Chain A
Amino acid sequence: MITIQFNGEPHQLKAHALPEVLLELGAPKMCAVAINGQFVPKNEHDSVILQDADALDAFTPMQGG
């Protein structure tokens, strides 16, 4: 198990690989992902393994002016 911050809240996870982590967290399909403040494009997701204490953020469409 690892503990990460997901959108600012702590989460314990079984998965370590980013695609499985996003599934485990129930992240929306339509989102952009940043790890420790760095954008991770979709075509790189498969190669990313999360570490304990990483900060993962998912950004989704929202109202904007």
Chain B
Amino acid sequence: MSWQLAGVALNSRFLIGSSLYPSPHIMQGAIAESEAEVVTVSLRRQSPKQQGGDAFWQHIQGLERHILPNTAGCYSAKDAVMTANMAREVFNTHWIKLEVLGDEYNLQPDPFALLEATKELIAQGFEVFPYATDDLVLAERLVNAGCNIVMPWGAPIGTGRGLMNPYALKILRARLPDTTLIIDAGLGAPSHAAQAMEFGFDGVLLNTAVAEANDPVLMARAFRDGIRAGRNGFEAGVMQQRDLAKPSTPVLGTPFWHQDKNHRGNAS
């Protein structure tokens, strides 16, 4: 079933990164297998004698996906705004995955600089995809600043720890029902992605878990299927947990209906 991301109709709820793959060929295979329609890229300073940038871009272009440039590595609102403007010119898109980091150790977003950069970029006409923590008030401030999308982390980038704070993420979903919420970063296993989707998140963005798998192409398929399974589960409605067991097989007409009540086993 298709959905809307920043005004674009997509079939996949998987957004995938283009970094860390063993080779461009494997990157292409993994992105194709993921069926993700949005691919994140970056801008980097490069010697003109090295043509890697052009070669990389040709590989990405060949996939015919929507491009989501990032501002990875920026530690100030000013640098992030400048990087976003350069990305808009190079990639010809007003989409920007806004990363403004505040801590080098765990690559945690700087909420204050993130909000400052968000306001400036929205004023400049960008569609901002802010990489944020799972902090509710930050997410609300980003939405109030004009964000249609917020991307809370599951865990710090590249850790593969999954959803560290399910409580906070569920609260985000409940409090921002009209905002597109995408889990970005920290997922390690397809089950993590499935869990995020079961919570009702609109999509999942990840890179390392696929790119650094022993078989990135197979892992891309696994995440693709996990995301679908989780979304289907959310739409179907996950049952409420109970404290007490409840037999799924009818009790009426049990063959051993006459056995001692104190020794009766329950049906499964």
Taking Cβ atoms with an 8 Å cutoff, the residues of A that contact B are 6-9, 25-28, 30-32, 34, 38-39, 41-42, 57-65
Interface size class of B (residues with CB under 8 A): 35 or more
Between-chain CB contacts (< 8 Å), 25 pairs? A7-B47, A9-B47, A28-B48, A28-B53, A28-B54, A31-B53, A38-B82, A58-B45, A58-B46, A59-B45, A59-B86, A60-B44, A60-B46, A60-B53, A60-B57, A61-B56, A61-B90, A62-B46, A62-B53, A63-B18, A63-B19, A63-B42, A64-B19, A65-B19, A65-B207
Q: Is the CB of B48 within 8 A of A32?
A: no
A31 to B48: give the CA distance in the assembly, Å: 10
Q: Is the CB of A65 within 8 A of B157?
A: yes
Q: Is the CB of A61 within 8 A of B53?
A: yes
Q: Is the CB of B69 within 8 A of A64?
A: yes
Please name all residues of chain B whose beta carbon is closer than 8 Å to the beta carbon of A26 when the two chains form the complex.
48-49
Q: Is the CB of B18 within 8 A of A41?
A: no
Q: Is the CB of B45 within 8 A of A65?
A: no
Give the contacts of B184-224 with A (CB-CB under 8 A): 185, 207-208
Q: Is the CB of B87 within 8 A of A32?
A: yes
**Interface class of chain B by DSSP:** mixed
Q: Is the CB of A63 within 8 A of B20?
A: yes
Q: Is the CB of B51 within 8 A of A32?
A: no
Taking Cβ atoms with an 8 Å cutoff, the residues of B that contact A are 17-21, 27, 40-49, 51-54, 56-57, 60, 69-70, 72, 82, 85-87, 89-91, 157, 185, 207-208
Q: Is the CB of B45 within 8 A of A30?
A: no
**Which residue of the partner chain B has the closest CB to A31?**
B90
- Residues A64 and B17 in contact in the complex (CB < 8 Å), given A32-B87, A41-B89: yes
- Residues A60 and B43 in contact in the complex (CB < 8 Å), given A31-B90, A41-B89, A65-B157: yes
A6 to B27: give the CA distance in the assembly, Å: 30
Q: Is the CB of B57 within 8 A of A61?
A: yes
From B21, B42, B60, name the one whose CB has the most chain A CB atoms within 10 angstroms: B42
